[in-house]
């Protein structure tokens, strides 16, 4: 496992909201903004983009921009609970030149949990995956992904530790969380929807 893992992301769309300070590390400040990427179906994914301060100043509301970089995961602590946050980490920002929004992700990493194969209420096959993608300095990103149909059946037969390649898109999904006091809270989840999964031997 290790140095040959792949993590590539390319997005283009319209910036929503101003960048907000997120955290600092090794003397550098990082800011988060949102990029709205429209699918061919018309559905819009509202995606968090994390950028170092010199790039974040380019993330101005209303601009159509292209962001190239990687997917990164971060642990967020809320009391005793830990939540996995997924962000697009910007390594370059430029004006978008394509007429249609773009959303492409390529990942190579190892399955770190058994894939969960199931059927949706509408009878579609789906499998949930968690991929560990290694990066430099001994760190890893843990990236949730879903695959459909025949790909879901194939993924359901893979084991923990298997190296795979995923090709798909970074997407957002709205859902309601049932709270302990009986209330329901609207939340947004992020994941990779993969159109292709390939076993790496």
Q: How many residues does the chain have?
A: 201
| Residue scoring higher pLDDT (191 or 78) | 191
- Label residue 83 by pLDDT band (50, 70, 90): confident
Distance CA 134, CA 1 (A): 8
- The sign of the CA dihedral 105, 110, 111, 113 is negative
pLDDT of residue 79: 66
- Label residue 80 by pLDDT band (50, 70, 90): low
What value, to the nearest 5°, has the Cα angle with vertex 140 and ends 134 and 142?
Answer: 110
**Contact of 110 with 3, CB cutoff 8 Å:** no
Which residue, 127, 128, 131, is CA-closest to 110? Answer: 131
* 27-31, 76-80, 147-151, range with the lowest pLDDT: 76-80
| Residue scoring higher pLDDT (149 or 174) | 149
| Residue scoring higher pLDDT (140 or 183) | 140
A 10 A CB-CB count for 183 gives: 9
Strands 116-119 and 125-134: antiparallel
Strands 140-148 and 184-200: parallel
H/E run at residue 156: helix 149-156
Distance CA 71, CA 90 (A): 9
Indicate the average pLDDT of the chain.
92
- Label residue 23 by pLDDT band (50, 70, 90): very high
pLDDT above 70 as % of the chain: 97
- Answer left, alpha or beta for residue 122, where phi above 0 means left and psi between -120 and 50 means alpha: alpha
Mean pLDDT, to the nearest integer, of 6-31? 96
pLDDT of residue 3: 60
CA 108, 112, 115, 116: dihedral to nearest 10 degrees?
-130
The pLDDT tens digits of the residues spanning 103-161 come to 999 999 999 999 999 999 999 999 999 999 998 878 899 999 999 999 999 999 999 99
| Residue scoring higher pLDDT (107 or 76) | 107
pLDDT at 1 over 70: no
For 127, the token pair is 């499998």
pLDDT of residue 153: 95
Which residue, 93, 16, 12, 31, is CA-closest to 61? Answer: 16
């Amino acid at each position: 496992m290790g140095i040959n893992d792949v993590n590539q992301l390319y997005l283009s769309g319209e910036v929503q909201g101003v960048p907000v300070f997120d955290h600092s590390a090794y003397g550098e400040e990082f800011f988060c903004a949102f990029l709205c990427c429209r699918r061919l179906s018309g559905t819009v994914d509202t995606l968090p983009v994390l950028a170092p301060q010199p790039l974040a100043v380019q993330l101005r509301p209303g601009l159509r921009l292209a962001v190239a970089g990687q997917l990164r995961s971060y642990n967020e602590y809320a009391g005793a609970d830990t939540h996995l946050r997924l962000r697009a980490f910007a390594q370059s920002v430029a004006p978008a030149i394509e007429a249609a929004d773009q959303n492409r992700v390529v990942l190579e990493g190892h399955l770190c949990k058994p894939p969960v194969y199931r059927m949706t209420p509408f009878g579609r096959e789906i499998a949930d995956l968690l991929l560990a993608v290694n990066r430099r300095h001994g760190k890893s990103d843990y990236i949730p992904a879903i695959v459909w149909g025949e790909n879901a059946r194939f993924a359901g037969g893979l084991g923990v530790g298997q190296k795979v390649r995923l090709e798909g898109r970074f997407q957002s999904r709205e859902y309601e969380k049932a709270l302990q006091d009986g209330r329901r809270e609207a939340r947004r989840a992020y994941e990779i929807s993969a159109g292709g999964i390939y076993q790496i031997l």
